[in-house]
Each structure stands twice: as C-alpha cells, then as structure tokens.
C-alpha cells in the first residue's frame, strides 16, 4: 500500500516537474508546479510528517505560487504556436549527466545503516504538529516573539514605502 | 523551559524598546505634523530608559530562555554603544528630515526596532535567534534607506540593498542548516562542543562555517562582499547612512566575534587564513578606491570598508588583548564616523546636501568651527596621533603583533598610510583653498550638541583615554553557558 502510494506520488512529482520545464505557456508551467507541490505534500504525508505537508501546501502552493502567477500575469507573457518548449541538445546532455549523477549517488549511499532507538517507548508520542507547537511556545519562545516583530516591521515598512506621495511638512 | 521572571527582567531593555516603538507607531497618527519633533524627544527618552535598564544588568552573565539569549558584559557594552549611536542619530535627524521632506513618524519607530534587532544580534545565544535579529535589523534598514522616495538614488539603493541582503540572508541560513545538520544543535555553545571534535562530518562543518562567514562579511561590508556599500551609503538619507555605518556594522562585528570565537574556536586554524585574506583585501580595496572618489559619502563608504579590514584583524587570535583592541576600535569608530556623516548632512546648497568634496573647499574661511570639527574626524579616521583613531589602530596593530602576525600588522600600517592621503585631501580642501560656491553650513541646537559630543569624545579618547579604557576592560567577558 505504502509502496503503491509512493510510486504514485513520486511518479506524479517527476511528471509534473517535466511539464514545468516543457510547457511553453508560463501559466501552464505554474500550474504544473502547483501539481508538483501538492504531490510533494503527499510524499510528506507518507513519511508521517503531516505538519510539513500542511506547511508545504500553505507556503508553497498558497503563497509562493500565487506570487509567481502575479508576476506572470503582470508581465503578460504571450505564447503562440508550439505547445511544448523545444530544448537544446546541450540542456539534454546536462540533464542526463545530472540524472546519472543523482542515481549513482543514491546507489552508493547507505541510508540509515542502523535505525536509532525510539526514546521512551512507554510514553504515548504526540503527533509532530503538537510536538512542534510545544517546542515553539516553550523552548523557542524568544525567537518566536522576534519573528512576530519581524512580521510587524515588514508590514509597516511595506506601507511606508508604498503609500502615495504625501507632503510631510 | 520553566517560565521565570529572570527571563523577563533580563530582556527588559528589549521589551522597553519594542513597547516604545509600538507606542510611537500609534502616537505618530495622533500628533499634528508641526509637532513631529516631539516624537524625536520621545525616542531619545525611550533609548535612555533602555540604557538605564542595560546598565542595571551590567556585570551579570545570564543565559536566558534556556541559553537562547545571553546577557553578559560583552553584549551590554555593545548595546550601550548602539544606544549612543541611535541617540546621536536622532539628534542629527531633527532639522535634516524636515529639510529633505521625509519627516515621517515611522522613521523613529524604525530606528527603535532596528536597535532591538541589533540587541538581539549581540545577545543571541543560538543561530536562529541570531538570524532573526539580523533580519529585524536589515528589514528596518531597507525601509530607512528608501525613505527619499522621490530620489532615484535612494530608491535604487534600497532595492539593491534589499535584493543583495535577502540573497545573503539565504546563504547565511544555508550555512546554519549545514551546521545544524552536522551537529544536531544550533546553540553557539552546543556547536562549540561539536566542532572541537567533528569526526567524519568535518566537511559539512567547513561548508557551514564558510557560508556563515559570507553572511557576516556582507554585514560588516568587507571585500569580496562589499559591492553594495558605496551605492547604498550614497543613496540613503545621510542620517540613515551614519546609523547604518556605525550601529549596524558594530552589531555585526559583535556576532561575528561571538560565533567565531565561541562556536568555531575548535577549528581556528581552518578559518584564520580566510580572515587574513578578507582583511587584507578590505584594507586594499577600501583605501585605494577611496582615493578616486569625489563624493564624500562614497569616500566614507570605502573608508568604512577599509576600517572593517583593520577591525577584522583583531578576530585572529581569541584572547583578552584582541578583544580589548576590537572593543576600543568599534567604540572610537562609532563616534568619528557618525560625526563625519553629521557634518556632511549639515552642509546645504540650494535645497540639497553638499556631499561632494568640492563643497568643502574653503570651509575654514566661512565656518571655522565646522571645518575644525571635520578636521578632527578626518585626522581621527586617518589615525593621526592626538585623536582617538590613532589609539584604536595602535591597539589593533599591537594585538596583531602579539598574536604572531607581525607581517600582517606591517601590511595594515602601509594601507593606513595610503588611507591618510584621502582624508588629508578633504582637510586640504577645507583649509588651503579659497571658498567658492554657495554651500552654507546649516546647524541646529540638537545638531551642535551631537557634534560637540562626537568630536569631544573623539578628542578625549586620544588625549585622556583612561576612563574609557577602564570601562572597556570591565566588559571583557564573553559568557559561555
């Protein structure tokens, strides 16, 4: 079951990543990127990292991709004629080289030679969202507060820089 | 972490400033435009409050928030310099902001928040807190640099600084993730324990160290990562330039020192060659390119690159002497640099600043006191004996010689001699030529107070440094939890 899900999500990630590169219309590329982010979130769920999956969807699919689309639409890129982008031979050679490289690395790496022991087997473990929340609001309370200050500054700063011409005198 | 009052009391200065910054953002909407100067007085009161709180914490070594935040004499020293720099900046900014038509209430809030960012930087006990502090400071600077929104140079400077700054932040974060991946901890003391015996993960530590070094050298504007400095310093409003060139850089030096001396002390022999290289390059580029500048703000930008080179030499050997030399250096550097920018912003010609060296020609005939003050700053920056800058360089070179790098000290002295040329060029323009042009020296009471404070301290630091030396000697303690 897990293997089948992995095959589905992994295959979809590879396929949509290829579409990102091959589509000629930037909007289609951005949409394929969205599909890729979704499937990566699926991979995280298989790994039982449900918090990471949520963040992946919120941050990448929700925020960053919308920014992409804004830029693409503002630039008003037109694409007529061909549906797919033609790739130069140089790109293909480099791509194959990189793929061979990654496969060689994967074959040579020993993943987790011995698995680390699970600490406190008797205690019921919390899910990882709960754990992150616990750590964030206790141990990392101070950086958390500073991060909120950073967000405040970003907000006020954007307003100060973007508001129209005013006479301050 | 059990929640305790010590954590709150130890971070009282930061809490004060954040609180007053938020109050300023609200007050700004209520106060009529003619009375904006009240906000400046309010900001100074806030900074004095925080300074009193910091002095109250002096002499303590406290790891707060389970070691993520460290209050020690070292960080308190830097915080106090940063408060002084901010107060002087506010004193300079009063008539200037009105003249440039950028008197926004948010300006004061941003100064306060950037001070909070610097305080977080100098006290950070782990790399995440450190990174957030750097970002808090930088975000405020991006906005402050672009305050003159009608001026193309200012907008360009802000945008350039923003792009390069975010790029460097990403590199720095990448370095932190390497270190975290290798060591499994991101606290500075935890990293120190791991790095002294990294085993097979040494390459990962090295990559992380080099990437964090890139982040720090960008923030102290040392060569190869100095490209943004001249444009940003030239384009920014001059008060902001003075503040960035002093407080921002000094805070960056403080974290640079803490991370490299504590976390990376185990592999000192891997990074000292990098520091030597960056230091020599900074001194060379800073001092040689400055000769060709005609704009005084650009010249001071290159001079600040050169000064970063001198100060970096003190990082080579972690001992008390180098630490003392660096603290004395940044202390002196703050007063003379912020003062020099203060003189520039008071020179007005037809509604703009007189920031070209041409504008200073014959200043001694028309305004002898302004010329004398500028002479003090220029001589001090050049390192000519009766002023503070000389002693600062002297301590640095002695520390370098005692660290066993005599040749490096010789290189530094050669570049200092080259550097003296362009500072003296300004002095010569002021004293040896007949005045021409329509530049007037426009000062206010607050500005004169600030100039008297900076120039006076620069002179006293050279003539009678004993009280300052005693104070700095009392803050030579880096607390390692």
What is the per-residue pLDDT across B188-242, written as a single tens digit (0 to 9) for each? 988 988 888 887 788 888 999 999 999 999 999 998 899 999 999 999 999 999 9
Q: Are B382 and B420 in contact (CB under 8 A)?
A: yes
Residue B59 has pLDDT above 80, yes or no: no
Does B149 sit within 8 Å of A168, measured CB to CB?
no
Q: Which tens digit of pLDDT belongs to each residue from B385-395?
A: 889 899 999 99
Q: What is the pLDDT of residue B287?
A: 92
Per-residue pLDDT, averaged over A14-21, amounts to 90
Residue the block writes with tokens 């958390």: A144
Q: What is the pLDDT of residue B202?
A: 84
In a 13 Å sphere around the CA of B267, the CA atoms on its Cβ side amount to: 21
Residue the block writes with tokens 């130069």: A88
Per-residue pLDDT, averaged over B114-121, amounts to 95
Strands (E), B8-160: 62-64, 69-71
Q: What is the pLDDT of residue A62?
A: 85
What strands lie across the sheet with B440-441, from one edge to the other? Answer: B352-353, B347-349, B440-441
Q: Which tens digit of pLDDT belongs to each residue from B9-38?
A: 888 999 999 999 999 999 988 888 888 889
Give how far B74 is from chain A: nearest CA, Å: 20
ipTM of the prediction: 0.88
Final residue belonging to a domain, choices A52, A82, A112 = A82
Q: Are B14 and B120 in contact (CB under 8 A)?
A: yes
Per-residue pLDDT, averaged over B333-346, amounts to 92
Final residue belonging to a domain, choices A60, A82, A104 = A82
> Looking at chain B from residue 261 to 290, which residues have their Cβ under 8 Å from any Cβ of chain A?
none
Please enumerate in sequence order all residues whose Cβ is within 8 A of that of B92, keeping only pairs 6 or more positions apart, or say none: B239, B242, B338, B341, B342, B345, B446, B447, B450
Per-residue pLDDT, averaged over A17-34, amounts to 87
- Tell me whether residue B480 is in a domain: no
Chain B contact set for A149 (CB, 8 A): 18, 113, 116, 136
- Tell me whether residue A116 is in a domain: no
What range does the domain containing A78 cover?
1-82
Per-residue pLDDT, averaged over A16-36, amounts to 88
Candidates B267, B2, B315, B259; CA nearest to B129 is B259
Does A142 sit within 8 Å of B11, measured CB to CB?
yes
Q: What is the pLDDT of residue A7?
A: 93
Per-residue pLDDT, averaged over A123-144, amounts to 81
- Tell me whether residue B478 is in a domain: no
* Longest CA pairwise span in chain B (Å): 70
Burial state string for B141-179 with b = 16 or more CB within 10 A and e = fewer than 16: bbbbbbbbbebeebbbbbebbbebbeebbebbbebbebb
Residue the block writes with tokens 């940044």: B330
- Tell me whether residue B479 is in a domain: no
Q: Which secondary-structure segment (H or E) carries B250?
A: helix B249-258
Determine contact: A87 vs chain B, CB below 8 A: no
Report the range of poorest mean pLDDT among A84-93, A123-132, B8-17, B396-405: A123-132
| Burial label, A138 (beta-carbon count in 10 A; 0-12, 13-18, 19+) | middle
- Report the distance separating Cα B169 and Cα B313, nearest Å: 24
Which among A146, A156, A161 has the least Cβ separation from residue B132?
Answer: A146
- Tell me whether residue A147 is in a domain: yes
Give how far A142 is from chain B: nearest CA, Å: 7
Q: Are residues A131 and A73 in the same domain?
A: no
Q: What is the pLDDT of residue A167?
A: 55
Q: Which one of B64, B136, B155 would you mutate to disrupt binding with A, by most A Cβ within 10 Å of its Cβ?
A: B136
Give how far B388 is from chain A: nearest CA, Å: 36
Which among B98, B106, B136 has the least Cβ separation from residue A169?
Answer: B98
Q: How many domains does chain B have?
A: 1
Q: What is the pLDDT of residue A71?
A: 84
Residue A169 has pLDDT above 50, yes or no: no
Does A169 sit within 8 Å of B140, measured CB to CB?
no
Position A79 confidence tier, pLDDT thresholds 50, 70, 90: low
Position A92 confidence tier, pLDDT thresholds 50, 70, 90: confident
- Tell me whether residue B201 is in a domain: yes
Per-residue pLDDT, averaged over B239-252, amounts to 94
- Tell me whether residue A34 is in a domain: yes
Please enumerate in sequence order all residues whose Cβ is within 8 A of that of B195, keeping only pairs 6 or more positions apart, or say none: B183, B205, B263, B264, B265, B266, B267
Q: What is the pLDDT of residue B423?
A: 92
- Tell me whether residue B203 is in a domain: yes
Residue B39 has pLDDT above 50, yes or no: yes
| Beta-bridge mates of residue B126 | B187
Report the range of poorest mean pLDDT among A76-80, B210-214, B450-454: A76-80
Q: Cβ of B278: how many Cβ atoms within 10 Å? A: 24
Determine contact: A156 vs chain B, CB below 8 A: yes
Residue A118 has pLDDT above 60, yes or no: no
Position B2 confidence tier, pLDDT thresholds 50, 70, 90: low
What range does the domain containing B369 cover?
5-473
Q: Is A44 helix (H, G, I), strand (E, B) or coil?
A: helix
Q: What is the pLDDT of residue B48?
A: 95
Q: Are residues A75 and A132 in the same domain?
A: no
Please enumerate in sequence order all residues whose Cβ is within 8 A of that of B196, keeping only pairs 6 or more positions apart, or say none: B265, B266, B267
Residue B403 has pLDDT above 90, yes or no: no
- Tell me whether residue A78 is in a domain: yes
- A50 vs B307, higher pLDDT: B307
- Report the distance separating Cα B176 and Cα B207, nearest Å: 10
Q: How many domains does chain A have?
A: 2
Position B276 confidence tier, pLDDT thresholds 50, 70, 90: very high
Q: What is the pLDDT of residue A113?
A: 57
Chain A contact set for B64 (CB, 8 A): 142
Which among B18, B132, B139 has the least Cβ separation from residue A157?
Answer: B139
Q: What is the pLDDT of residue A124?
A: 53
Which among B120, B147, B150 has the least Cβ separation from residue A146?
Answer: B120
Per-residue pLDDT, averaged over B86-93, amounts to 94
- Tell me whether residue A91 is in a domain: no
Q: Are B382 and B423 in contact (CB under 8 A)?
A: yes
Final residue belonging to a domain, choices A82, A110, A139 = A82
Does B106 sit within 8 Å of A142, measured CB to CB?
no
CATH classification of the domain holding A54? 1.20.120.1200
- Tell me whether residue B171 is in a domain: yes
Chain B contact set for A154 (CB, 8 A): 139
Give how far B183 is from chain A: nearest CA, Å: 16
- Tell me whether residue B234 is in a domain: yes
- Tell me whether residue A122 is in a domain: no
Which among B69, B113, B149 has the least Cβ separation from residue A161?
Answer: B149
Determine contact: A82 vs chain B, CB below 8 A: no
């Amino acid at each position: 079951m897990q293997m089948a899900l992995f095959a589905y999500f992994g295959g979809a990630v590879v396929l949509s990543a290829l579409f990102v590169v091959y589509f000629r219309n930037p909007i289609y590329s951005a949409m394929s990127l969205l599909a890729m982010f979704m499937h990566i979130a699926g991979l995280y769920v298989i790994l039982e990292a449900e918090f990471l999956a949520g963040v992946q969807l919120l941050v990448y699919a929700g925020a960053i991709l919308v920014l992409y689309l804004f830029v693409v639409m503002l630039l008003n890129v037109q694409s007529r004629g061909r549906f797919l982008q033609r790739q130069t031979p140089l790109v293909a050679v480099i791509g194959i080289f990189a793929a061979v490289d990654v496969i060689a690395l994967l074959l040579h790496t020993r993943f987790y030679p011995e698995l680390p022991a699970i600490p406190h087997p008797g205690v019921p473990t919390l899910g990882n969202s709960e754990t992150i929340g616990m750590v964030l609001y206790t141990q990392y309370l101070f950086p958390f507060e500073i991060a909120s200050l950073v967000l405040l500054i970003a907000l006020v700063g954007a307003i100060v820089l973007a508001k129209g011409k005013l006479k301050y005198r | 972490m059990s929640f305790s009052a010590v954590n709150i009391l130890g971070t009282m200065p930061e809490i004060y400033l954040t609180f007053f910054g938020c109050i300023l953002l609200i007050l700004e909407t209520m106060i009529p435009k003619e009375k904006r100067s009240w906000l400046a007085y309010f900001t100074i009161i806030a900074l004095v409050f925080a300074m009193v709180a910091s002095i109250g914490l002096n002499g303590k070594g406290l790891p707060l928030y389970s070691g993520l935040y460290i209050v020690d004499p070292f960080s308190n020293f830097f915080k106090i310099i940063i408060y002084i720099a901010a107060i002087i900046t506010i004193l300079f900014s009063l008539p200037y902001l009105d003249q440039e038509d950028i008197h926004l209430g948010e300006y004061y809030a941003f100064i306060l928040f950037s001070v909070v960012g610097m305080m977080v930087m100098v006290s950070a006990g782990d790399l995440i807190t450190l990174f957030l502090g750097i970002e808090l400071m930088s975000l405020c600077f991006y906005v402050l640099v672009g305050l003159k929104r009608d001026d193309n140079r200012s907008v360009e400077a802000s945008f350039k600084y923003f792009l390069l700054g975010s790029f460097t932040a990403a590199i720095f974060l990448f370095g932190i993730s390497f270190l975290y991946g290798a060591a499994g901890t991101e606290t500075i003391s935890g990293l120190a324990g791991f790095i002294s015996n990294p085993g097979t993960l040494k390459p990962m530590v090295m990559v992380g160290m080099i990437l964090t070094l890139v982040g720090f050298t960008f923030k102290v504007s040392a060569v190869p990562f100095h490209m943004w400095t001249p444009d940003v310093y030239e384009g920014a409003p001059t008060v902001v330039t003075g503040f960035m060139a002093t407080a921002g850089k000094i805070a960056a030096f403080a974290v640079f020192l803490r991370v490299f001396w504590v976390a990376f002390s185990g592999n000192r022999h891997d990074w000292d060659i990098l520091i030597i290289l960056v230091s020599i390059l900074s001194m060379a580029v800073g001092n040689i390119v400055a000769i060709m500048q005609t704009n005084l703000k650009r010249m001071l930008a290159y001079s600040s690159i050169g000064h970063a080179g001198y100060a970096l030499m003190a990082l080579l050997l972690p001992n008390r002497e180098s630490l003392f030399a660096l603290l004395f250096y940044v202390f002196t550097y703050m007063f003379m640099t912020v003062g020099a920018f203060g003189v520039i912003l008071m020179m007005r010609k037809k509604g703009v600043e007189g920031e070209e060296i041409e504008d200073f020609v014959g200043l001694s005939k028309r305004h002898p006191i302004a010329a004398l003050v500028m002479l003090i700053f220029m001589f001090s920056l050049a390192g000519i004996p009766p002023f503070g800058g000389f002693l600062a360089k002297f301590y640095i070179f002695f520390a370098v010689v005692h660290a066993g790098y005599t040749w490096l000290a010789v290189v530094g002295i050669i570049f200092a001699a080259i550097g003296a040329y362009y500072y003296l060029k300004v002095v010569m323009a002021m004293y040896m030529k007949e005045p021409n042009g329509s530049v007037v020296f426009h000062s206010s009471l607050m500005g004169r107070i600030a100039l008297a404070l900076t120039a006076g301290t620069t002179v006293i630091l050279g003539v009678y440094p004993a009280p300052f030396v005693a104070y700095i000697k009392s803050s030579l303690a880096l607390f390692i939890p």
